[in-house]
């Protein structure tokens, strides 16, 4: 009788143990199921957000409106181009000597016809054959003997990131140091100079452009003036 009673008590204990184990298993399964549902919900939300993002992105204003007007996949069709470096090879005009030994560049003359609504100066350049310009370098630009070593930190309009240096200027507002000595001494700084006023019917443009650097491998990939004619005018800038 005592043995039977002990067996019954042992059996009850086992049943309780199994019951506790089943409860634990049940809790684990419930937690896993809840996690799975939450994961599915979050994944669905992320997918939904990703599906909407491109549409919303197209509705956002551009971070580079001036650059997009001249260089995007869909540039403004009214914009015309004067490519000063058009005769350069595909890799650009390259000088393997530093500017301290040979300060060359491109010098050209152009004839202006008509009236203009807006104009930009666009520059894409390298040093060491493959590196962007540093604070020790600059780009040299003169128009009708006015200009010099451009101050890229001022007046340069926003452009997308690139492996080369890109500078975009509103031709009405460019800052520069006339000489390299002025740049070194931070003197005679010319600020917000208007070059747009040279774009007048019948004017001649004498342009000189160069990469100013003490290191070799100075490359001009593109130097251009992008411009738009005033409504009703057939304007142009042609090489003489």
- More confident call, 137 vs 22: 137
What would the pLDDT profile of 28-65 be if each residue is shown by its tens digit?
Answer: 445 544 555 545 554 555 444 455 455 545 567 889 99
Residues 91 and 30 in one domain: no
Residues 198 and 85 in one domain: yes
Q: Please identify which residue in the block is written with the tokens 């006023």.
A: 197
% of the chain exceeding 70 in pLDDT: 75
Q: Which residues contact 234 (CB under 8 A, 6 or more apart)?
A: 113, 114
Residues 75 and 43 in one domain: no
Total domains, the chain? 2
Domain end (from 45, 60, 75): 60
DSSP 8-state symbol, 172 = T
Residue 154: the pLDDT is 87
Residues 106 and 134 in one domain: yes
Task: Sort residue 229 into left (φ over 0), alpha (ψ -120 to 50) or beta.
Answer: beta
Mean pLDDT of 216-235: 97
Residues 124 and 217 in one domain: yes
Residues 10 and 105 in one domain: no
Least confident of 4-8, 68-72, 147-151, 227-231: 4-8
Residue 123: the pLDDT is 98
Residue 54: the pLDDT is 53
| Mean predicted lDDT score pLDDT of the chain | 85
Residue 29: the pLDDT is 45
pLDDT at 8 over 50: no
What would the pLDDT profile of 155-173 be if each residue is shown by its tens digit?
Answer: 999 999 999 999 999 999 9
Least confident of 21-25, 97-101, 104-108, 191-195: 21-25
Backbone angles phi, psi at 105, to 5 degrees: 100, -160
Residues 93 and 183 in one domain: yes
Find the helix or strand (DSSP H, E) in which 82 lies: strand 79-83
Q: Is the dihedral of CA 156, 161, 166, 169 positive or negative?
A: negative
Residues 7 and 108 in one domain: no
Residue 108, CA atoms < 13 Å, CB-side half-sphere: 19
Least confident of 28-32, 175-179, 200-204: 28-32
Find the helix or strand (DSSP H, E) in which 36 lies: helix 2-59
- More confident call, 221 vs 40: 221
pTM of the model: 0.75
Domain that holds residue 85: 66-239
Domain end (from 12, 32, 60): 60
Residues 20 and 71 in one domain: no
pLDDT at 126 over 70: yes
pLDDT at 227 over 50: yes
Query: 10 Å Cβ neighbour count for 233?
Result: 14
Q: Please identify which residue in the block is written with the tokens 């800052």.
A: 175
pLDDT at 93 over 50: yes
What would the pLDDT profile of 72-89 be if each residue is shown by its tens digit?
Answer: 999 999 999 999 999 999
- Tell me how far apart the alpha carbons of residues 132 and 162 are, in angstroms, rounded to a whole number: 9
């Amino acid at each position: 009788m005592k043995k039977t009673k002990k067996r019954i008590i042992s059996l009850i204990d086992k049943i309780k143990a199994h019951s506790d184990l089943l409860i634990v298993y049940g809790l684990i399964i419930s937690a896993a199921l809840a996690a799975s549902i939450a994961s599915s919900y979050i994944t669905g939300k992320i997918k939904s957000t990703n599906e909407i993002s491109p549409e919303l992105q197209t509705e956002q204003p551009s971070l580079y409106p001036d650059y997009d007007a001249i260089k995007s996949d869909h540039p403004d069709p009214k914009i015309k181009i004067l490519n000063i470096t058009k005769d350069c090879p595909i890799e650009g005009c390259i000088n393997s000597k530093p500017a301290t030994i040979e300060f060359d560049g491109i010098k050209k003359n152009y004839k202006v016809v008509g009236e203009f609504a807006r104009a930009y100066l666009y520059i894409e350049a390298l040093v060491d054959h493959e590196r962007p310009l540093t604070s020790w370098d600059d780009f040299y630009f003169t128009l009708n003997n006015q200009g010099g070593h451009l101050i890229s930190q001022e007046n340069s309009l926003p452009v997308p990131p690139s492996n080369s240096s890109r500078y975009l200027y509103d031709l009405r507002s460019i800052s520069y140091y006339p000489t390299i000595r002025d740049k070194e001494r931070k003197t005679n700084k010319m600020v917000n100079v208007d070059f747009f006023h040279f774009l007048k019917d019948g004017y001649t443009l004498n342009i000189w452009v160069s990469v100013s650097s003490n290191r070799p491998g100075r490359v001009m990939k593109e130097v251009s003036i992008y411009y738009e004619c005033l409504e009703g005018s057939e304007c142009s800038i042609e090489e003489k």
